[in-house]
Structure formats: structure tokens, C-alpha cells
Amino acid sequence: MRLGYTAQQVRDAEAPHLAAGEPLMARAAAAVAAAVRDLLAVRGGVPGRVLLLVGSGNNGGDALFAGAELAGGGCRVTVAELGSRTHEAGLAAALDAGSRTVSASDIVATAGDTDVIVDGILGTGAVESPALRGVARDIVAELLPLLGRPDAPAVVAVDIPSGIHPDDGSVPEPAVLPADVTVTFGGYKAGLLQGPGARFAGDVRLAAIGIEDDLAAVEPAVRVP
């Protein structure tokens, strides 16, 4: 039985740990990096070529710190900034480890020469307006035809594929990258287990980050066999 929680339940579970200074983002990033390495091993070995699609929030921070770990291990990591701002510490870590950035006009071409795309655009904070918009939406729409090719990169979603409602699994806008692997943190997000969202999530891997006991103390939003 898989138990799915709402975005608010997860935020409430995280709050005391964040207040205590626990490294939740570092744990999440390590889990993402491990999933990317697993896919690279299947696709021909590590190091490999990784493209990070980075949004404004902590989801983007998770992707950036994962990218820093991967770059430090020899991967060729490229950062595409798609939000109104970028997690400063995460970006600094990624660049210090040897990652490079790419302009919006070159993202699709870079993706065509990439082994794994990490989707870190939107996370569980996008509850009121979960759909991608602006440049991020345009880039994802351009990437979708690429994923239909035999040599397409694999996609790893950070916590939840960007554009899926984290609570009910609805997909308000068709510009969503279908994930091969979704690495979700602490507990399954309800939107990964129901509705159209479940079809975009791929292989969902649950990574422990230290909030599991807190979630176990509340009633889950959904239960899925």
C-alpha cells in the first residue's frame, strides 16, 4: 500500500526539521543524483551528460545541488535557468563543481546531446497555479518531440513532474515532461498516485529525508495498492 500526502502535509512535516537546520535539501539532492547515476549506468556509464532544467524554488535548488554532486563526479552538467530567480547557493555549488550554464535559445540543442534531463522547474509549491508558463512552458513544449526519438534523453523529475498538481494529479496544461523516474521525498505526493499525474511519473522512487515519522502521524490523502 502506497500512502499519498498533500503538499501542505509535506510542508508541515518539513517545517520543524527546517527550523532545526536539518539538511533536507542536501538529502533530496543526493537522492536525485543517485537516480541520475543509475540511469547513466544503464545508458552507457558514468560520467555522462546531464541537463538541469531549473525553476525558481527549492525544487530548482534540489536539482542544482544534485548537479553539483554529479559534476564533481565527472559528469558534464549544464544548467538551464527557467525561473524568475535561481537558488543562489545551489547555483554557486553547481558552477563551482564545473557545471556550465546555457542560454534559453540553446536549451533544445543541448538536450539533443544529453543523456539525462533533470526536471527541477516546479515542485509541490505550485499548488494554486501548477501549470508551466512563459519561457519554461515554451521550452518544455519544444523538448517534447525530442523525447519521442530512439536516442532521446531520459528524464528524472525532482519530487514531481513539473506541471502536475501535487494533490490531485491533474494536468492543467499539456506541456509536461513525462518522467522515466520521479524521485519524491519523505512521502509519496498524492498527485503521483492518482489522475493523469500518475501516468507522467514513471518509476516513482521514495527517498527518505528525515520527515517520514512526521508524515506517518497524519492521515494520508490517498491510499493506493
Listed in sequence order, the residues at least 6 apart from 8 whose beta carbon sits closer than 8 Å to its beta carbon are: 127
For the sheet with 2-5, list strands across it. Answer: 188-189, 2-5, 222-224
Q: How far apart are CA 204 and CA 221, in angstroms?
A: 17
Contact status, residue 35 vs residue 183, Cβ threshold 8 Å? yes
DSSP-based three-state secondary structure for 10: helix
207 grid coordinates: 527517498
Give residue for cell 519561457.
Answer: 135
Domain segments of the chain as ranges: 2-224
Instruction: Please tell me what DSSP assigns to residue 92.
Output: H
The one-digit pLDDT tens for each residue of the chain (225 residues) are: 899 999 999 999 999 999 999 999 999 999 999 999 999 999 887 789 999 999 998 999 999 999 999 999 999 999 999 999 999 999 999 999 999 999 999 999 999 999 999 999 999 988 888 889 999 999 999 999 999 888 899 999 999 999 999 999 999 888 999 999 999 999 999 999 999 999 999 999 999 999 999 999 999 999 998
- What would the CATH number be for the domain defined by 2-224? 3.40.50.10260
pTM above 0.85, yes or no: yes
